[in-house]
C-alpha cells in the first residue's frame, strides 16, 4: 500500500502533505497513524518548523466515513478518540507548526488547521465544523481559544462554513494568500521560525500557551458526547441530509 502521507524536508522545515486527493484527504485510520508517527519523528529530531498541507483541491474533508456501514458505535468512538488524541498532540507539539490549507477544511480537517500554531489559507478556502450536527464535541475548546467562546459557539451551532476572509478577521487564520504563492510563503515562514534558537522558541511558546491542562477535559467531553447510543445512525442521518437537493424557491 502506498503511503497516505508524503513527507519531505526543505530548508528549515519539514512538510507533511496529506496524500489522499481522490478522497479529499479524509482522515483514514492509516493516515491518522502516519500523522502520529510523523509528529513523534518531528519532536525527536527537533525540526525548526512542521508544515501541514494537502494534495489536490482540498486540505482535508474530515473523518473518513467510507466504511460507516461496517462500523459499530464502539468502533466509531475509538476512531474519534484516536483523532482527538492526535489533534491534542499537534496542538501541544514542542516544535513550531504551520497549516497551509486550500479548498475545504471540514470537521477533523478544520480541527487540524485550528491545532496548528500558525494558520494560512489560500484564496477560496473555507472551514466547517459539522460534528455538533450529530452530537459530537470535538475540538471545541481549541476553536474557542483561537476565536473566543462567543464566535466559536456561533460557528458551531449555525453549522455554516467560515470563508477565508472571515477566518482571517476572526484570527482563525493569520493570512489569506493566492494559491501560487503557497510554496514561497512556506519558505518565508520557515526562515522566520529559524530565527530563534529552539530552546528560546519553546520557552516563548510555553509562556504564551493558554489552558494547557485542558486536554484531558477535551477527551472527556468527546467521549461523553459520543457514548449515547445511536452515534452511527446520527452520522448516517447527517450524511443523508447533505445529499438531499436544496429546495426550489416557489415562484411569486
Which residue carries 474533508 as its cell? Answer: 61
Per-residue pLDDT at 16 exceeds 80:
yes
pLDDT of residue 234: 81
Q: Which residues contact 131 (CB under 8 A, 6 or more apart)?
A: 107, 137, 138, 139
- Spatial distance between the Cα atoms of 17 and 4, rounded to a whole number of angstroms: 9
- Spatial distance between the Cα atoms of 161 and 167, rounded to a whole number of angstroms: 10
pTM assigned to the model: 0.84
Q: Which domains does the chain have, with CATH numbers?
A: 5-202 (3.90.226.10)
SS3 67: coil
- Spatial distance between the Cα atoms of 213 and 69, rounded to a whole number of angstroms: 36
Measured at the CA of 216, the angle between CA 213 and CA 218, to 5 degrees, comes to: 100
Residues 193 and 96 sit within 8 Å (Cβ to Cβ): yes
Per-residue pLDDT at 167 exceeds 90:
yes
Measured at the CA of 101, the angle between CA 171 and CA 234, to 5 degrees, comes to: 90
Residue 63's Cα: distance from chain center in Å? Answer: 10
pLDDT of residue 221: 77
Neighbouring C-beta atoms of residue 71, cutoff 10 Å: 16
pLDDT of residue 2: 62
Q: What is the pLDDT of residues 27-86, one digit of tens each?
A: 999 999 999 999 999 999 999 999 999 999 999 999 998 888 888 888 888 988 899 999
Q: Please name which of 134, 128, 115, 118 lies closest in space to residue 218, comparing C-alpha atoms.
A: 115
pLDDT band at 238 (very low <50, low <70, confident <90, very high): confident
Considering only 62-71, 94-103, 162-171, 204-213, which range has the smallest mean pLDDT?
Answer: 204-213
> Which carries the bigger pLDDT value, residue 222 or residue 22?
22
Mean pLDDT of the chain: 88
Output the DSSP codes for 7-53. EEEETTEEEEEE--GGGTT-B-HHHHHHHHHHHHHHHHHT-S-EEEE
SS3 47: coil
SS3 55: coil
pLDDT of residue 250: 45
The phi-psi region of residue 52 (left if phi > 0; otherwise alpha if psi is between -120 and 50; otherwise beta) is beta
Q: Which residues contact 192 (CB under 8 A, 6 or more apart)?
A: none
Q: What is the pLDDT of residues 109-153, one digit of tens each?
A: 999 999 999 999 999 999 999 877 777 777 788 999 999 999 999
Q: Which residues contact 15 (CB under 8 A, 6 or more apart)?
A: 6, 7, 8, 9, 51, 53, 186
- Spatial distance between the Cα atoms of 136 and 138, rounded to a whole number of angstroms: 6
Neighbouring C-beta atoms of residue 211, cutoff 10 Å: 11
- Spatial distance between the Cα atoms of 98 and 158, rounded to a whole number of angstroms: 27
Instruction: State the virtual CA torsion across 74, 76, 82, 88 in degrees, nearest 10.
Output: -110
Per-residue pLDDT at 20 exceeds 90:
yes
pLDDT of residue 233: 84
Q: What is the pLDDT of residues 173-231, one digit of tens each?
A: 999 999 999 999 999 999 988 887 777 666 666 666 655 546 667 777 777 777 788 88
Amino acid at each position: 500500500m502506498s503511503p497516505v502521507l508524503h513527507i519531505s524536508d526543505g530548508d528549515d522545515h519539514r512538510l507533511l502533505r496529506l496524500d489522499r486527493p481522490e478522497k479529499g484527504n479524509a482522515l483514514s485510520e492509516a493516515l491518522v497513524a502516519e500523522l502520529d508517527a510523523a509528529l513523534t519523528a518531528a519532536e525527536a529530531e527537533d525540526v525548526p518548523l512542521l508544515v501541514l498541507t494537502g494534495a489536490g483541491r482540498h486540505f482535508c474533508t474530515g473523518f473518513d466515513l467510507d466504511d460507516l456501514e461496517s462500523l459499530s458505535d464502539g468502533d466509531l468512538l475509538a476512531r474519534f478518540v484516536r483523532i482527538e488524541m492526535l489533534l491534542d498532540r499537534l496542538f501541544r507539539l514542542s516544535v513550531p507548526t504551520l497549516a497551509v490549507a486550500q479548498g475545504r477544511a471540514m470537521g477533523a480537517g478544520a480541527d487540524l488547521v485550528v491545532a496548528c500554531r500558525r494558520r494560512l489559507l489560500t484564496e477560496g478556502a473555507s472551514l466547517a465544523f459539522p460534528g455538533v450536527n450529530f452530537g459530537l464535541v470535538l475540538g471545541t475548546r481549541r476553536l474557542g481559544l483561537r476565536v473566543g467562546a462567543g464566535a466559536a459557539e456561533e460557528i458551531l451551532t449555525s453549522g455554516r462554513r467560515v470563508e477565508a476572509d472571515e477566518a482571517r478577521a476572526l484570527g482563525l487564520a493569520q493570512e489569506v494568500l493566492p494559491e501560487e504563492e503557497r510554496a514561497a510563503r512556506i519558505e518565508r515562514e520557515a526562515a522566520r521560525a529559524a530565527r530563534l534558537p529552539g530552546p528560546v522558541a519553546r520557552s516563548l511558546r510555553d509562556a504564551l500557551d493558554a489552558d494547557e491542562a485542558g486536554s484531558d477535559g477535551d477527551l472527556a467531553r468527546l467521549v461523553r458526547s459520543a457514548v449515547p447510543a445511536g452515534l452511527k445512525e446520527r452520522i448516517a442521518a447527517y450524511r443523508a441530509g447533505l445529499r438531499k437537493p436544496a429546495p426550489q424557491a416557489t415562484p411569486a
